[in-house]
Amino acid sequence: MEYEVKNAPLPVLICKLQPGESIECQKGAMSWMTTTMSMNTGFGSGGGGGVLGALGKMARSAVTGESVFRNTYCATGGEGMIAFAATFPGNIMCFDVSRSGIVAQKSAYLANTPGVNMNIFFQKKIGAGLFGGEGFIMQRFSGNGMVFLEINGCVCEYVLGAGQSMMVDTGYLAAMEETCSVDVEGVKGIGNALLGGEGLFNTRVTGPGRIWLQTMPANVLASAIQPYIVVKSS
């Protein structure tokens, strides 16, 4: 399969498939495609099969809010093309999870090739889940194949050494390699916490591994435009 990402900051992922090749996505993610593509709705290929696999996918759906079903598009009438447009201004990034598992915010998933497993990523410390924003509700992508993720705004990539940390405000951590760990630290000083405007907690990401930070989380944009939204009474 060949793919390219075009037209950032309103990007679209365009995939060209050879006969018999397929790609999976969240329900409703397809933007346009050739008539040589056929669709099948099911649980998807990753995350295990059978009853336990189905239960695991339903549990992930309950936590993340995504549909339990996935659409698989296959090139059956010759070569095919399918496009997935981003749902938010930013970038679409492509990761080969056979090289390293990826942990990403729950809203980042766009599509994947067969063989990619999707599982809920549980923090080792409960504080990271309760106070870390995206913390508890992140997803882990592993297995073999490509996963395509949406990043809100521009992307800043950092490589953290073993034991090296980066302090990140809530919502700015888009993705990280699974070798990294996440914890939460309170803002030091009562005055800083109450008057600094940065909230009570920050997310500490510790290496080794790569992390990808996004410059425009959806909640930040929503807060910025909220004062300009006028609600008219009927």
Rg from Cα positions in the chain: 19
This prediction's pTM: 0.81
How far apart, in whole angstroms, are the C-alpha atoms of residue 125 and residue 96? 28
How far apart, in whole angstroms, are the C-alpha atoms of residue 71 and residue 27? 6
Longest Cα–Cα distance in the chain: 65
Please write down the HEC assignment for all residues of 14-72. EEEECCCCEEEEECCCCCEECCCEEEEEECCCCCCCHHHHHHHHHHHHHHHCCCCCEEE
How far apart, in whole angstroms, are the C-alpha atoms of residue 80 and residue 94? 20
How far apart, in whole angstroms, are the C-alpha atoms of residue 174 and residue 108? 7
* Domain at 2-228: CATH architecture: 4-Layer Sandwich (3.60)
Q: Give me the sheet containing 165-168, strands edge to edge.
A: 165-168, 201-206, 181-186
Q: How do the pLDDT tens digits run along the chain, 234 residues long?
A: 999 999 999 999 999 999 999 999 988 899 999 999 999 998 766 555 544 454 455 545 545 555 568 899 999 989 999 999 999 999 999 999 999 999 999 889 999 999 999 998 876 554 544 444 444 578 999 999 999 999 999 999 999 999 999 999 878 999 999 999 988 876 665 544 444 445 567 789 999 999 999 999 988 888 889 888 877 665
Tokens representing 177 are 């390699």
User: What pLDDT, on a 0 to 100 scale, did the predictor assign at position 113?
Assistant: 96
